[in-house]
Structures are given as structure tokens and as C-alpha cells.
A and B are shown apart, each in its own frame.
Chain A
Amino acid sequence: MALYQLKAHVISALIQNKEMTSEEITKAFLDRIEAVEPKIDAFITISSEEALKQARAVDVKIARGEKLSSLAGVPIAIKDNMCTKGILTTCGSKILNNFIPPYNATVVNKIHAADMVILGKLNMDEFAMGSSTENSYYKVTKNPWNLKRVPGGSSGGSAAAVAADMAAFTLGSDTGGSIRQPAHYCGVVGMKPTYGTVSRYGLVAFASSLDQIGPLTKDVKDMALAMNLIMGHDPMDSSSAPIDYPDFSKSIGEDVRGMRVALPKEFLGEGIQKEVKESVLSAVRVLEGLGMVVEEVSMALTDIALPAYYLISSAEASSNLARFDGVKYGYRAKEYDDLIDLYQQTRDEGFGDEVKRRIMLGTYALSSGYYDAYYKKAQRVRTLLKQEFSKLFESYDLVLTPTGPTTAFEIGAKVDNPIEMYLNDIITVPVNIAGLPALSINSGFDQNKMPIGIQLIGDTLKEHTILKAAYAYEQARELPGGVLVEL
């Protein structure tokens, strides 16, 4: 096994036991990136020099016998919507094609404090709006299981980089499924934590009441380490939850017998690919074999979650993206008549089609005469969805669903139809609307050998319940039929 194929917790042990240096590991990953990036297109920026500098600095600390975090020296890569001081942060957009942040996002400070090595910034749909990474201004990321297919999105670069062994793990962000859906398409583990448990300070805002940063990893043990790294209260983010954060490594290996799992029948019906449904049902048998109790339930509001999501997220985006005006940072149009024209021309040239569509929808939904019918009504739907989940969690520990209705589709297949593209998120968005934690993990492959993911949803702040069930499932599952493309 090559060094770059190792899981983060294995790399961590090699470094801590002084069997390998961080520099050796980092070089192995940089070589891997150089070799496969031309095929995968996962990165917008590769920060080789800084990475090697960070790695050598960690090695000096280790040689001196300093006590460091368990992730010290482990190479990570980050979605390009998290601010990295001194390193280009584009958000996948032309309008930020020259933006060098003067500060670090809180998660980036946490990565530095843990002495981790940052390999670079990952491709994404522009402003995290999309489900395929085809909306990036810079490049289209390919799915490492089939280079003709999309990796999912918007954290497509983050998922593809983990699947293609280009980083030990990565960070993405999830507003309506943007971590879990690409994790499902690329056969990796992806988690969206409870809203408010990971600081959004320095995350370029899309929809502030839904956005949440989370990790994409090779296995559940790595996920626990990654969650320990990024979670925590931050005074710089007013929506950050001031609670005691547990050590998620303790969830790994806990007894799962008697856990109760709800299986909503709406997500196994019409519109769900046959093999996806079969894979979920095979996962049910694995969970039952582990002593869990799985029962079919009904969720009445599943149809209404997606329209409510597009109204809320677009409304918040139209407000958040008002700051991109060609004055303080980023792109500015070359020709304009006056100040208003400078704004308008800069924004028309700087934003891509999907971003403009969402700004237009959001502006419409917030405009005079439509606010009550759209935005406020969507916020009422949010109350109902929250109540529906709360009711389920009175009787169940977890809710099990497919992560998406289908496996990864071909590049270009859905670009002309926005609504069809939106339907990819139908199973993931209710989780964001209700602010819940959820994880996607590979449960098998379809006949085209594309990965399938199942989604485990937990109650508010019950990440440990999800992780212990996911770990038990990971140990017990059988995964025939998957072969990565020879890269």
C-alpha cells in the first residue's frame, strides 16, 4: 500500500511513533497530486511550498519531543470557500479570482493549531451552488470511479480528492447536501454536523441559516478525529453553540444493540434508482444483524422540503452576495459609466449563470409583495419539518435514507435543466432545514460500478449516536463490485 492510500489515523500513528516524518508523508501526497490532478481536476490551488514548510516545522517540533495534537503532520485539503490567510480563496467564482484573504477562517486556525499540513484549496460549484461541480468558473472535477461522471457537489473537489487519495482527508461545506451528496457519489464518508457546532467565521457565506462546514474522510474513525478537530464554540460566530463538545473518538466501538432506526418509506419509492433502494435494504439487514431495530415510518413533508429550501437558501444568498460589488476586493469590470453601473457590470461579468439565477430568485422572494408568500412561508415549513423530525426522534435514535435518489450522472447530463439538477438534493435538504447532523457512508455499487451512499440522520447534537452506528455498520458491511479508475 502506498503512503497516500493510508487513512489519517494510520498516518497520525506513523508520525507520532516517529516511523515516518511529516515531510515524507507530505511529499508522497504532493507527488500523488501531481500525478493524478490532470485527470481529476480536484484542486484550484496547490500550495506545495507552504505545505512542505509546514511539514518541516512539525518535524522539528516532534524531534524536540513537543507534545502535539493527534493530527500533527497529517496532510489535509480544504474547499475553496474557507479563507486562508495569504492563499488565494476563489469560492469557485470569477468574482473572487484574485482574492487573497487577510485572515484565516476559524477552522483554518484550528488546522494550524493542530499542526496539520494544508496541501491546497479544492474545486467547488461557484459559491457552493450546485450538485455536480460543473458550476465552477475554473474547471470541472471528475469522479475518480469514472472520469466521464460528475463527483457531485458542491464539495466535488473535496470528495474526489479523498476518493483519489490526494489528501488524508478534506473539509467541505454543506448547505443542502453539498458534503453528503458528493460523498455518496465518490464512495467516501461525509458528515454535516449540527448547525452551530462548527464556526462559520471565514466561510464565504451562501445561506447563513443552513451553511455548515464538515469533513470528508476515508473511514468513520477518521471522521471522529476530524469532527474533534473542527467542532467547538467560537465567539467570532454568533450562531455558534456554547456547549460542551464531546470526544467523538469515544463513540467508536460502542455497543449498538437495541438502537432504533426509522426508515421513511417516501425515500424508497418513486424516483429512487432500483440499485440505490436495494443497497439501502441490504444496509438494513446489516444493521439488524448488529442488533438494531429498523422500522418503516412515513414522513409527510418530504415533497415540500425542496421548494422551501430553494426559497430560503436563495433569499439568504441574494442578501449575502450583495457584498460582491467590485469595490473592496475581487474582480472589477473594466468599463462602466458610474458607480451603479460599476456594481451592475462587475456582478454581471463576475457571477456565473447559476449564481445569477439564485440571486434573482432570492431577490424576487424577498421583494415587496412576495415576502409573506415565499420567504416567510418557507420559514413556516421549516418549523413543521423540525417538528416532524422531533416526533420521529421521540421513538428512534436514527433515521436511515439513501443519500441521493441516483448514483453519479454523466458530465453535462443535467446542466440545461436547473430543476432536474435541484432534485438531486431532495433527500439531503430536509436535514439542513431542520439543522440536524447527518452522515453519508458507502453501502455498495450499482451495475456501472458507481458508489452508492446511505444517509444516517441523528437528532440535534447527537453526532456520537451517528458515529457509533456508522462505525459498527462500516465494520460489518460487505462491499463487492467497486473498482477505482487506474489513475
Chain B
Amino acid sequence: MKITKEQVEHVAKLARLNLTEEEKISFTKDMEAIISFADQINDLDIDDVKPTDHVIPINNVFRPDVVVPPMDRELLLSNAPSQENGCFSVPKIVE
């Protein structure tokens, strides 16, 4: 399967990756090789086979609705690159 640089740019945007020009070129080549390899599965005619999402059949897992103490706010924020007034801080998103 042929992969174009424009496709790589589109997928990178979806994946929130700011690829450099160099990366765009090398990923176009890599993606083409890997997707051609993955395309082998399209040699199989298996549309009538049911897909398996999970290998053991566990459905609808419930637990008792019990209130437990939450994790400490300061502890959780201690890993944040930037915080303000007990919140995660990011660049302004509303003008």
C-alpha cells in the first residue's frame, strides 16, 4: 500500500505529534513498509468471523457503591508541570 507524506501529516495531526520534516520523510517510508506487512490480514476472507475484543468472557463488572477517601489533591498535583490554585495549569484556551 502506498502511503503519501500528506497521509502521514494527517495521521500525525490526529495523533497530536508535531513531526519534523525529517521525521515526516522517514515515517512515510516506515509506515508504508509496516502497513504493507499488516495488509497480509486482508488476504483472508473472514468477514463472517465474530471479532474477539477480550479473550476471557468477563462482562458488566460491578462493585459496591461505597464512598472511599480520594487521593490527596496536593500529592496528585505534585507531578504537574504547571499548577495554580490547586488546579492543572495550561495556556489560555478562550479569548
Residues of A within 8 A of B (CB): 98-100, 102-103, 194-196, 209, 235, 238-239, 241-242, 303-304, 307-308, 310-311, 318, 322, 325-332, 336, 338-345, 347-348, 351, 356-357, 359-361, 363-365, 367, 373-374, 376-384, 386, 418-419, 422, 433-435, 460
Pairwise interchain contact A347-B17, C-beta atoms closer than 8 A = yes
Closest B residue, CB atoms, query A237: B61
A357-B15 CB under 8 A given contacts A342-B90, A383-B52: no
In the assembled complex, the Cα of A381 lies from the Cα of B45 at a distance in Å of 10
Q: Chain B, interface size: which category?
A: 35 or more
A376 neighbours in B (Cβ, 8 Å): 51
In the assembled complex, the Cα of A338 lies from the Cα of B94 at a distance in Å of 11
Residues of B within 8 A of A (CB): 7-8, 11-12, 14-20, 23, 27, 30-31, 33-35, 37-42, 44, 46-47, 49-56, 58, 61, 63, 71-72, 75-76, 78-82, 88, 90-91, 93
In the assembled complex, the Cα of A331 lies from the Cα of B15 at a distance in Å of 17
Pairwise interchain contact B38-A360, C-beta atoms closer than 8 A = no
A102-B15 CB under 8 A given contacts A196-B58, A241-B58, A307-B37: no
B78 neighbours in A (Cβ, 8 Å): 100, 102
In the assembled complex, the Cα of A381 lies from the Cα of B43 at a distance in Å of 12
A331-B38 CB under 8 A given contacts A336-B91, A360-B8, A377-B46: no
A303-B55 CB under 8 A given contacts A100-B79, A419-B34: no
In the assembled complex, the Cα of A77 lies from the Cα of B5 at a distance in Å of 44
Pairwise interchain contact B50-A238, C-beta atoms closer than 8 A = no
Closest B residue, CB atoms, query A99: B79
A-B contact pairs, 28 of them (CB 8 A): A242-B58, A308-B41, A311-B38, A318-B15, A325-B16, A327-B81, A327-B88, A327-B90, A332-B81, A356-B19, A357-B30, A357-B31, A360-B27, A361-B31, A363-B11, A363-B14, A363-B15, A367-B11, A374-B41, A377-B41, A377-B42, A377-B44, A380-B52, A381-B44, A382-B52, A419-B33, A419-B34, A433-B55
In the assembled complex, the Cα of A345 lies from the Cα of B91 at a distance in Å of 14
Closest B residue, CB atoms, query A345: B18
B27 neighbours in A (Cβ, 8 Å): 356-357, 360
Pairwise interchain contact B55-A360, C-beta atoms closer than 8 A = no
B11 neighbours in A (Cβ, 8 Å): 360, 363-364, 367
In the assembled complex, the Cα of A384 lies from the Cα of B47 at a distance in Å of 12
Given A329-B79, A382-B55, A383-B52, 11 further pairs, Cβ under 8 A: A209-B55, A238-B58, A325-B16, A327-B90, A338-B93, A357-B31, A359-B17, A377-B46, A382-B52, A418-B33, A460-B56
Pairwise interchain contact A311-B18, C-beta atoms closer than 8 A = no
Pairwise interchain contact B17-A327, C-beta atoms closer than 8 A = no
Pairwise interchain contact B53-A209, C-beta atoms closer than 8 A = yes
The binding surface of chain B is classed by DSSP as loop
Pairwise interchain contact A307-B38, C-beta atoms closer than 8 A = yes
Closest A residue, CB atoms, query B64: A235
A361 neighbours in B (Cβ, 8 Å): 31, 34-35, 38
In the assembled complex, the Cα of A359 lies from the Cα of B14 at a distance in Å of 10
Closest A residue, CB atoms, query B54: A209
Selected contact of B18 from candidates A195, A341, A360, CB within 8 Å? A341
Pairwise interchain contact B81-A326, C-beta atoms closer than 8 A = yes
Most B CB within 10 A of own CB, among A102, A196, A336, A373: A102
Pairwise interchain contact B49-A384, C-beta atoms closer than 8 A = yes
Closest 8 CB pairs of A and B: A435-B55, A379-B51, A329-B79, A332-B81, A344-B18, A348-B18, A380-B49, A363-B15
B90 neighbours in A (Cβ, 8 Å): 327, 339, 342
Pairwise interchain contact A339-B93, C-beta atoms closer than 8 A = yes
Pairwise interchain contact A419-B63, C-beta atoms closer than 8 A = no
Pairwise interchain contact A307-B41, C-beta atoms closer than 8 A = yes
A383-B19 CB under 8 A given contacts A303-B40, A377-B41, A377-B42: no
Pairwise interchain contact A304-B41, C-beta atoms closer than 8 A = yes
Pairwise interchain contact B38-A384, C-beta atoms closer than 8 A = no
In the assembled complex, the Cα of A339 lies from the Cα of B37 at a distance in Å of 36
Selected contact of A304 from candidates B14, B34, B40, CB within 8 Å? B40
In the assembled complex, the Cα of A96 lies from the Cα of B16 at a distance in Å of 17
A435 neighbours in B (Cβ, 8 Å): 55-56
In the assembled complex, the Cα of A445 lies from the Cα of B20 at a distance in Å of 44
In the assembled complex, the Cα of A418 lies from the Cα of B20 at a distance in Å of 20
Pairwise interchain contact B52-A342, C-beta atoms closer than 8 A = no
Pairwise interchain contact A330-B79, C-beta atoms closer than 8 A = yes
Pairwise interchain contact B71-A348, C-beta atoms closer than 8 A = no
B54 neighbours in A (Cβ, 8 Å): 209, 239
